[in-house]
Structures are given as C-alpha cells and as structure tokens.
Amino acid sequence: MDVLKPHTPRLTDLALMLNRDERVSGVNVTVKEVDANTESITITLEGDDLQFDTIKEILEQAGAVVHSIDQVVAGKRFVEEVTLQPENS
C-alpha cells in the first residue's frame, strides 16, 4: 500500500500498531519520500484473511491515509507477477 502519514507516529510505532492485528503475521514499512510535514511510505503486510477495513482503521488512528493498493496476492500458493514482452519485439 502507498500511504501518506505525518512524522508522528514513528515508523517503528506504526509497524507495531499494524502487527498487533492478530491476522497480520508480518509488516514491512519503507520510506519513499519525506517533506516538511509528511512521509510517503510503502507498507507490505502478510497474513491470513487480512481485513482491509481493520488495517485502514489502524492507519487512520495514526493520522495516515491510504493512497493506493498496488498489489494483492491471494490463494493457496503464491503467484509470481509475469512481465510480458511486447508482440513486436
């Protein structure tokens, strides 16, 4: 997820907040950009039966806003993304 958050809470605190959700088994938070008042971050979550509404609520409590969800993987096994070559190459 691409997320915009204020400088507070710290990244470590936000990761811990998300990890308290019993359905979340792992959290990765990466800073993409920082300005005077906010941080653009990417959050990757792993877990079984993740509930977007719960995750969004946690982020909103931290003053963060979800800009986009760029990838979702679901099913009994992991499916790798495939890059297709243009037909004329």
User: Would residue 86 count as lying in a domain?
Assistant: no
- Beta-bridged to residue 30, according to DSSP, are 42
Q: Is residue 78 part of a domain?
A: no
Q: Report DSSP letters for 22-65, one per residue.
A: TTEEEEEEEEEEE-SSEEEEEEEEEESS--HHHHHHHHHHTT-E
Determine the pLDDT at residue 46. 93
What pLDDT is recorded for position 89? 60
Per the domain annotation, does 49 fall within a domain? Answer: yes
Is residue 38 included in any domain, yes or no?
yes
- Provide the domain limits for residue 60: 2-68
Residue 80 placed within a domain: no
d(CA 48, CA 81): 20
Report yes or no on 89 lying in a domain.
no
- Residue at 73 is within a domain: no
State the pTM of this model: 0.84
Each residue's pLDDT tens digit, 51-71: 999 999 999 999 999 999 988
Q: How many domains does the chain have?
A: 1
Distance CA 48, CA 63 (A): 25
